[in-house]
């Protein structure tokens, strides 16, 4: 179903209506020069902070539903959210729950005493389940919508084709690709950026 036909547009993040802009209202556009990407990523971060678009997805890998519940990819994700653990940002987006638990356990292993993730119990889930809907497909859809919004900022045709292919509809992956591309800027790229 296309986002325009979706009655639950708040969760579909209707990508045709989300145009990332600077604080002055100018569309954020990437022209293919990696020297511009650090600034573009900063502007995108500020846009998402300002507008709150994709906030639950960025921070927790979740999305809000029109029925008031929060869609999550697993019960474990609901536990992270309900306990206020591991809130992420645009610069350090929330991965899927399995990767999040692995990162939590890796960080916890370095603590004294060591800390490890304890899976959600039936009693914990009963207490919070009225607030959540476990729906990995909804989270995948939100990830795809996030990807389309990021792709909409790429105005260079060859860059757009390359990033579209590499990201394969995964917004988290696309953001990582854009960050990696920004680190490839050469002295020539930076010199060109100064003269544009």
Decide if 127 is inside a domain. yes
Residue of higher predicted confidence among 160 and 188: 160
pLDDT at site 170: 98
In percent, the amount of the chain with pLDDT more than 90 equals 85
Backbone angles phi, psi at 118, to 5 degrees: -110, 115
CB 152 within 8 A of CB 20: yes
Decide if 26 is inside a domain. yes
pLDDT at site 34: 93
Question: What residues make up the domain containing 162?
Answer: 18-89+104-194
CA quadruple 43, 138, 9, 88: dihedral sign: negative
How many structural domains are present in the chain?
1
Its pTM surpasses 0.75: yes
Answer whether residue 3 shows pLDDT above 90.
no
pLDDT tens digits, residue range 78-87? 999 999 999 9
Confidence of residue 188 (pLDDT cuts 50, 70, 90): confident
Decide if 10 is inside a domain. no
Output the average pLDDT for the chain. 90
């Amino acid at each position: 179903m296309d986002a325009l036909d979706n009655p639950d547009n708040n969760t579909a993040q209707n990508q045709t209506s989300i145009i990332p802009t600077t604080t002055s209202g100018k569309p954020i556009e990437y022209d293919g020069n990696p020297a511009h990407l650090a600034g573009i990523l900063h502007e995108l971060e500020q846009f998402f902070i300002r507008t709150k678009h994709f906030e639950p997805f960025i921070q927790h890998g979740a999305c809000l539903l029109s029925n008031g519940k929060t869609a999550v990819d697993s019960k474990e994700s609901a536990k992270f959210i309900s306990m206020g653990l591991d809130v992420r940002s645009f610069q350090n987006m929330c991965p899927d729950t399995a990767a999040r638990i692995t990162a939590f356990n890796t960080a916890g292993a370095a603590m004294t005493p060591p800390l490890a993730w304890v899976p959600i119990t039936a009693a914990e889930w009963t207490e919070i389940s009225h607030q959540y809907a476990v729906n990995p497909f909804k989270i995948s859809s939100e990830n795809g919508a996030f990807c389309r919004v990021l792709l909409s900022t790429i105005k260079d045709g060859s860059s757009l084709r390359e990033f579209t292919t590499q990201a394969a509809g995964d917004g988290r992956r696309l953001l990582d690709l854009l960050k990696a591309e920004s680190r490839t800027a050469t002295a020539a790229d930076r010199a060109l950026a100064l003269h544009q």
